[in-house]
Amino acid sequence: MGRLFAVEIIYRGIFQKTLAKNISRGIVLAAHQAGKPGISFGRYSDSPERNGIPAKSFAIVGTDQETLERGMAKYEPKEVDITITVDDTLCKGVESWAWYGLQPVNKLLKQGGTLIVTSRETPEALISMAHRKEYPYQLCIVKGTVSFSGLWVYKDDHSDVRILGTIARILPELFTLDSLKKVIQDEWHDAVKVSSAERAYERFTSTTVRPNQGNPETPYKFDLPKWHEMGEGVAIPSIPTGKQIEDPGTHAMGGYRPDRNPTFKKFSTRTMRPVVDFDTCIKCTLCWLQCPDTCFDVTPDGLYDANMQACCGCGVCEAVCPVPNCVTMINETEFRDNSSQWEAWKKDKSGYKTWLQQKIESRPERSHGFRYRGQYKEQIPEMLEIAREG
């Protein structure tokens, strides 16, 4: 049996669908140029592709047809040579839709494999988000802002060919730069995109991630019932109504925290999260009323605390809040946990205020797929500048 190559592309459903398709298809076409058969396909876990929900595309290539067919006989690869993450916030983990629990972004990566991330963060920042592995792997950052090149819109910002150029440098046994250049010219008919792929190839750098580096937490998971454990018929247990909240200072009980889905943790859908200035909150209730996922807890003192286990980061709360800068959406890469903001504010109001201002001041601009429409033309010049200059 020959050599089987496998690459997975992790992206946000709908918003980055076209981008993921271009990458997976480009891998297979470039491999074909070198005489290797391959196939690219999408896999969305147990549900159709949904807005912002992590989804995957795969490209598998064999050195011969029999090797490829053996690889195709599996539902999906059990290990991959390269994992590509086109949104750096997905480094925190991937939950495709309440089926497997939170999966480490590097779970399928084989020993010595490479995690490619599109980001402007430092290697240290990305390593701290990704869960630890028991063996070393490589991290490669393709510099750039997040490209929401999806089903509805497509901005041709060269993210696809820059990632393909990086793969040619990482794994020349899969395809060479010359093979890739011919595919880009034949498929995209764009000499500038060829140049972007060449620059990404030349600029390649990687960082070795050791087993003692990364997020040490055990990812949230649950056990699926076996077929012989299931009861007859269909029964869906209801979610309890919820309970009051304890004030961390006075220990008085009050407010209301609804119980939520105990299995699906929506935070993996989030590219941004709201931060709340409780000192300026006027308790108008609009964030609580308008939140599509009921993620706000009513606190004993009548404030509203976004539960970060349930928040999907849609930004509706920021949009409806009548008080300027009371609710602000911040890039998810700025945070390391899902702890309660209200509890932090109650314990140290001045410290929380400092923390809040630091987050707001460091906020990068980010076109958020849940809230922005159109062709994103205003972002293309910046992305192309990154492609040219790095």
Pair (109, 147) in one structural domain: yes
166 within some domain = yes
Q: 373: which residues sit within 8 A by CB, 6+ positions away?
A: 153
Pair (115, 218) in one structural domain: yes
Pair (71, 183) in one structural domain: yes
State the pLDDT at residue 163.
Answer: 97
Pair (250, 155) in one structural domain: no
Which two three-digit tokens encode residue 3?
């050599």
Pair (293, 207) in one structural domain: no
Pair (139, 171) in one structural domain: yes
229 within some domain = no
Give the sheet arrangement for strand 243-246, strand by strand: 243-246, 253-257, 296-298, 304-306
236 within some domain = no
Element (H, E) at 353: helix 349-361
Q: 237: which residues sit within 8 A by CB, 6+ positions away?
A: none
Count of Cβ atoms closer than 10 Å to residue 57 Cβ: 26
Pair (350, 253) in one structural domain: yes
Final residue of a structural domain among 222, 253, 273: 222
Pair (114, 35) in one structural domain: yes
State the pLDDT at residue 375.
Answer: 47
Domain that holds residue 218: 4-222
Which two three-digit tokens encode residue 325?
């800068």
**CATH value at residue 332:** 3.30.70
Which two three-digit tokens encode residue 268?
């993996």
Final residue of a structural domain among 192, 222, 252: 222
Report how far residue 109's alpha carbon sits from residue 157's, in angstroms, rounded to the nearest whole number: 27
Which two three-digit tokens encode residue 334?
């700025």
Pair (52, 159) in one structural domain: yes
The answer to whether 55 and 13 have CB atoms below 8 angstroms apart is yes
Pair (148, 69) in one structural domain: yes
State the pLDDT at residue 151.
Answer: 57
With 0-12 CB in 10 A as exposed, 13-18 as middle and 19+ as buried, what is 154? middle
Final residue of a structural domain among 222, 253, 276: 222
Per-position pLDDT tens, the chain of length 390: 799 999 999 998 888 888 999 999 999 999 999 899 999 998 765 455 677 888 899 999 999 999 999 888 887 889 999 999 999 999 999 887 666 788 999 999 999 999 999 998 999 999 999 999 999 999 999 998 887 766 556 677 899 999 999 999 999 999 999 999 999 999 999 999 999 999 999 999 999 999 999 999 988 877 777 888 877 777 777 778 899 999 988 899 999 999 888 777 788 888 889 999 999 999 999 999 999 888 999 999 999 999 998 998 888 999 999 999 999 999 898 998 999 999 999 999 999 999 999 999 877 666 554 455 544 555 667 777 777 776
Pair (206, 250) in one structural domain: no
366 within some domain = no
Degrees to nearest 5, angle at CA 75 with 73 and 80: 95
Q: Minimal CA–CA distance to 96: which of 42, 143, 19?
A: 42
Residue 294, by phi and psi: left (phi above 0), alpha (psi -120 to 50) or beta? left
Pair (216, 255) in one structural domain: no
Report how far residue 126's alpha carbon sits from residue 88's, in angstroms, rounded to the nearest whole number: 7
Q: How many domains does the chain fold into?
A: 2
The residue type found at 29 is L
User: CA-CA distances (angstroms) from residue 28 to 10, 189, 325, 329?
Assistant: 17, 18, 47, 38
**CATH value at residue 37:** 3.40.920.10
Compute the radius of gyration of the chain from its Cα atoms. 22
Count CA atoms within 13 Å of residue 8 on its CB side: 23
Count CA atoms within 13 Å of residue 60 on its CB side: 23
State the pLDDT at residue 216.
Answer: 95
Q: Minimal CA–CA distance to 205: which of 165, 162, 166?
A: 166
